[in-house]
Structure 1
Amino acid sequence: MSSNAFEVRGGNRLKGEIIPQGAKNEALQIISAVLLTPEKVTISNIPDIVDVNLLIELLGEIGVKINRISRDKCEFQADNIDIPYLQSAEFKKKSGRLRGSVMIAGPLLARFGKAYIPKPGGDKIGRRRLDTHIIGFEKLGVKFVYDNDDNYFRLETDGLKGTFMLLDEPSVTGTANILMAAVMASGTTTIYNAACEPYLQQLSKMLNRMGAKISGIGSNMLIIEGVTSLKGTEHAMLPDMIEIGSFIGLAAMTQSEITIKNAGIENLGIIPEKFQQLGIQMEFRGDDIYIPQQDSYEIQTFIDGSILTISDHPWPGFTPDLLSIVLVVATQAKGSVMIHQKMFESRLFFVDKLIDMGAQIILCDPHRAAVIGLGRQHKLRGITMSSPDIRAGVSLLIAALSAEGKSTIHNIDQIDRGYQYIDARLTALGADIKRI
């Protein structure tokens, strides 16, 4: 599946329609939730990407019956789980490779009273702490032991009990994991400062269809009345809002006319507005986003004339996953913007590659970059570079598609982890991308 580099020749204007994939971050939670019931669960709009496929494979190895009807639709039935396998060296090795594997802990604790979590790996975007998950589990009555020899947390409980908890940060995966454990705890659990992303809302609605009793969906306070068992259901993933934001940015950077089909606009929150602040025009046509060809786009200032700042914030604020896209798009806008990445400490380190391409960016510190838009007076130049994490990878791909000459992007496994067939889908719009 993964080859090691993309060779990109920039400067083509793209044209046509593109359909976003199912949401990656939602998929990892939803697919883990199949462990909560012995009945059949059918999931559709699954993104065909490495992280998701590895998780499905992992579930198969712990005994879930898997019927992959098509690449984007799959039936799961967890009626015969092999609990001893969770302690095997093989499981530890496999789950250690996959950051999403932490998400199976909540369902396993709810149903079987034990789980094993590898120490997190994955992206180079700073520390990915598991504290929120483990402290939340502890409050529900889970004991944990950390095994130094093989970097593993062993979690056990003789019965989860509902409680009130205030999370130290509104972690999306932490909230989801605790929520999946709490749905079968005895009594009532209240999770305050809960994440409330669309991913979480989707998971909560799915769990309620399975028989859970969750209220407060969409807010930062979830109240869960425990039930003794859950039944099967069907669930369709939302379109991936990070992909949608990436395509909006791509259209502007390459002066292309693109229609993003079935974009799930009502679930995009503030994302379209942030791209409009960069001067990008778009029209909502039903559930499609039409982006006209624009020769130039001008960054708005604040009402008092001061320079625009775009920063990330937990939902319903602007997602950190799109800040790198906004930063790239701003390099060719007219005007200046301050990009402030609050939630992670090393996601801006890829800007050195953009500076090499000719972008005017001042990296103030690990969290802030001032971008001085070139207004297309100087095109970016193609260079050879490597992708440090999933989101930066696509930002660099967008930069390369708008640059003059040839770029080579190495370490594209990082891109494949999050974006399905991205090269084929963009080539269909007229992009010049080759896998080498």
Structure 2
Amino acid sequence: MASFRVRGGIRLKGEIVPQGAKNEALQILCAVLLTSEDVHIHKIPNIRDVNKLIELLSDMGVAVEKTGPESYRFNASAVNLKYLETIDFLKKASALRGSVMILGPLLSRFGKGRISKPGGDKIGRRRMDTHFLGFQKLGATFHYDYRKEIYHIDGSDLTGCYMLLDEASVTGTANIIMASVFAKGKTVIYNAACEPYIQQLCLMINRMGGRIAGIGSNLLEIEGVKALKGTEHTLLPDMIEIGSFIGLAAMTQSEITIKNAQVNKLGVIPDTFKRMGIKLEIRGDDIYVPSQKHYEIETFIDGSILTIADAIWPGFTPDLLSIVLVTATQAKGTVLVHQKMFESRLFFVDKLIDMGAQIILCDPHRATVIGLDRKYPLKGIRMTSPDIRAGVALLIAALSAEGTSVIDNVEQIDRGYQFIDQRLNALGADIIRMD
């Protein structure tokens, strides 16, 4: 298990380039299974979850060639379906939540799929119903072995249909889209997720010869085709990293320029941080965050306490609520953070309280943060990273705190943030990785 030793209280300065989007990468990598031709993908982040998925695809028989520092070529012309029956496959798939998205392409192209219950962050219940209900509406038959926690799906005769998703699940929508591209006739998906990641997946499939309409909306129409060809695709910059860097700059009074942020794809993220009192300047496609000694949280128009809650796109992404929460600890004012989607994601606040933050955990979904306005700096402690986003929130807290902190289990952070210690050290941070 690796740890970070972090010396806090240092102001950072410089430029940083966000990695390719982790959540988009997991979808796009699974989509290479839809064709027997080459798919060339750029801006792939070098992070644990993505690397595990690439390894899994390689084990399935996909030819993988690294063509540059962040570029790979994939060819899925010789997928070994027998590998799906092995214990090795089930073990590797269960270690990675994104592995569930190989089911859609497998059903679509090969007519069958099998996978063990996926893993991922321990942030509460993350049900899979949307995926399998969508497959069933397309005509697939589904069986779940409760004892072995293995899903078996037969999709040998998929037929397009109308479906209203029970929730706008991003991975569920991606999986159903990929399962529909070869289905006979037209598939209409209502209440589809419409995040930029989904838009990118649809645009990629259309370049491959797919026929998807309604991209960017929650109503998608997919005309089934016979086959898809190869393509080239570049991932968006990771919006979660971008939001994390904004919060980091505010907490540490740093002057940071986030390069090539593709601001038009960030939705309400910049405005949400502005409501926290953080000054931002949009310079072309870059975001400049000046050094700020103080930042004050807005109230609602009637003077009531600001609430920041997660919502489906184009609402505020749940992956950044941990960053908003930690950033609020040194703001002036009070904010209620409402995490609607996952009931265990706010439990990391006990570490912030130990550091001196004033936070009231109202229930598993809501926390009230009373900003200290830098009158009482956080103090360094030893703590453990429980998941990807909480881990980075704790790293931000440690960088802003007085003294030295140690963060254990930083493999969780490595799952979503590429070389984060090296990149922040290049801005002046003092982070030492201890194995």
Q: Same fold (TM over 0.5)?
A: yes
Deviation at 1:148, TM superposition (A): 3.5
Counterpart amino acid of residue 247 in structure 1: F
Quote the residue 1:66 is aligned against: 64
1:40–1:76 Cα contact (<8 Å) kept: yes
2:93–2:118 Cα contact (<8 Å) kept: no
Q: Superposed, which structure 2 residues align to 1:269-280 within 5 Å?
A: 269-280=267-278
Q: How many angstroms apart in 2 are the aligned matches of 1:366 and 1:53?
A: 32
Deviation at 1:120, TM superposition (A): 2.5
Residues 111-155 of structure 1 show CA distances to partners (whole Å, capped at 9, x for unaligned) of 000111211222110011111101110111111122244211011
Counterpart amino acid of residue 404 in structure 1: E
Quote the residue 2:116 is aligned against: 118
Counterpart amino acid of residue 168 in structure 2: P
Quote the residue 1:26 is aligned against: 24
**SS of residue in 1 equivalent to 2:156:** coil
More divergent stretch after superposition (19-28 vs 81-90): 81-90
Counterpart amino acid of residue 336 in structure 1: T
Q: How many angstroms apart in 2 are the aligned matches of 1:15 and 1:141?
A: 55
Quote the residue 2:328 is aligned against: 330
Are 1:41 and 2:39 an aligned pair? Answer: yes
Q: Superposed, which structure 2 residues align to 1:199-218 within 5 Å?
A: 199-218=197-216
Residues 33-55 of structure 1 show CA distances to partners (whole Å, capped at 9, x for unaligned) of 00000000000000100100110
Deviation at 1:219, TM superposition (A): 0.5
**SS of residue in 1 equivalent to 2:282:** strand
Quote the residue 1:312 is aligned against: 310
Quote the residue 1:87 is aligned against: 85
Q: How many angstroms apart in 1 are the aligned matches of 2:275 and 2:35?
A: 45
**SS of residue in 2 equivalent to 1:407:** strand
Q: How many angstroms apart in 2 are the aligned matches of 1:375 and 1:157?
A: 57
1:133–1:174 Cα contact (<8 Å) kept: yes
Residues 73-113 of structure 1 show CA distances to partners (whole Å, capped at 9, x for unaligned) of 00000101101111111111111111111110000100000
Q: How many angstroms apart in 1 are the aligned matches of 2:422 and 2:156?
A: 50
**SS of residue in 2 equivalent to 1:170:** coil
Quote the residue 2:345 is aligned against: 347
Quote the residue 2:287 is aligned against: 289
**SS of residue in 2 equivalent to 1:46:** coil
**SS of residue in 2 equivalent to 1:322:** helix
Q: How many angstroms apart in 2 are the aligned matches of 1:337 and 1:363?
A: 12
Quote the residue 1:427 is aligned against: 425
Counterpart amino acid of residue 195 in structure 1: A
Q: Percent of aligned positions with the same letter in both sequences?
A: 69
Structure 1 residue runs of 5 or longer lacking an equivalent are none
1:39–1:231 Cα contact (<8 Å) kept: yes
Q: Superposed, which structure 2 residues align to 1:113-262 within 5 Å?
A: 113-262=111-260
Q: How many angstroms apart in 2 are the aligned matches of 1:291 and 1:96?
A: 40
Q: How many angstroms apart in 2 are the aligned matches of 1:137 and 1:372?
A: 46
**SS of residue in 1 equivalent to 2:158:** coil
RMSD (CA atoms): 0.7
Counterpart amino acid of residue 175 in structure 2: N
**SS of residue in 1 equivalent to 2:424:** helix
TM-score, normalised on structure 1? 0.99
Quote the residue 1:412 is aligned against: 410
2:110–2:156 Cα contact (<8 Å) kept: no
**SS of residue in 2 equivalent to 1:396:** helix
Structure 2 residue runs of 5 or longer lacking an equivalent are none
Counterpart amino acid of residue 359 in structure 1: A
Q: How many angstroms apart in 2 are the aligned matches of 1:80 and 1:430?
A: 47
Q: Give 4+ residue runs of structure 1 displaced > 6 Å after superposition.
A: none
TM-score, normalised on structure 2? 0.99
1:120–1:128 Cα contact (<8 Å) kept: no
Q: How many angstroms apart in 1 are the aligned matches of 2:350 and 2:3?
A: 19
Quote the residue 2:357 is aligned against: 359
Q: How many angstroms apart in 2 are the aligned matches of 1:150 and 1:113?
A: 22
1:120–1:130 Cα contact (<8 Å) kept: no
**SS of residue in 2 equivalent to 1:230:** coil
Deviation at 1:256, TM superposition (A): 0.3
